[in-house]
Amino acid sequence: MSSEDRIGVSDPETAERISDEELMVRLMEGDAAAFDEIYARYAPRIQTFVYRFIGNRESAEDLTQEIFLKVYRNPRAFDPRKRFLTWIFAVARNACIDHLRLKKLPVVSFGGGEDESWTPQIESPRAGSPEEEALGRELEGRMQEVLATLSKKLRDVFVLCAIQGLSYEEAAEVVGCPVKTISSRLSRARDRFYQGFSRYLDEGHQARSRG
């Protein structure tokens, strides 16, 4: 039986029209199938966010499971009058901060920058030739290295907006700060990310030229 059938709708299109907030209300009422739908909608995005934030894939998988286990066990922590999207990202962000604090991982802080127009367009490596897969892994690793150089405040806004696609308003709600602050941090984060990644691309171009 599909998750759509279990949550009481007859077709997938109808299931897609059920809001996240309504699904959470159903979960509060004991409908475990509503959780299946919430998990299907958000687990991949949350895991990507957590991975980009903490920089360790295995830990990101474990932390994502912990986050959704909390949602399942205590759905009433969510206020149905609020947006589920911003709430779940806020929960994930707090979990990442706690994780980093526990691990006492070093964070490097950087300053200014004004470029608000540039956003990275980097996809996960697709199946292809060994050379393409190796390049994809190299790009992925370099992207994570550059993200790790951003301060926590810059990194979480960058991942929320530039990678996850949240609006300034949504990110402001997740982080708990004014929209102007989000705009300023994102500008700085984009500038620092661009600088770091450009150095990698320049090094690669020089290496290919020498070859």
Structure confidence by residue, pLDDT tens digits, 87-144: 999 999 999 999 988 875 444 333 333 344 434 444 444 455 676 667 667 777 788 8
The CATH T-level fold of domain 3-103 is Rna Polymerase Sigma Factor; Chain: A (1.10.1740)
* Res 40: pLDDT: 96
Could you read off the pLDDT of 54-95 as tens digits, one per residue? 989 999 999 999 999 999 999 999 999 999 999 999 999 999
Quick one: angle between helices 179-210 and 168-175, nearest 10?
Answer: 110
Model-level pTM? 0.72
Q: Where are the alpha helices (DSSP H) in 75-178?
A: 84-103, 130-149, 152-158, 168-175
Beta-carbon contacts of residue 114 (< 8 Å; ≥ 6 apart): 187, 191
Domain ranges of the chain: 3-103, 130-210
Q: How many Cβ atoms sit within 10 Å of the Cβ of residue 171? A: 26
CATH number of 130-210: 1.10.10.10
State the Cα–Cα distance between residues 144 and 138, nearest whole angstrom: 10
Alpha-carbon distances of 170 from 56, 119, 128, 167, rounded to whole Å: 25, 18, 36, 5
* Cα torsion 91, 92, 97, 101: sign: positive
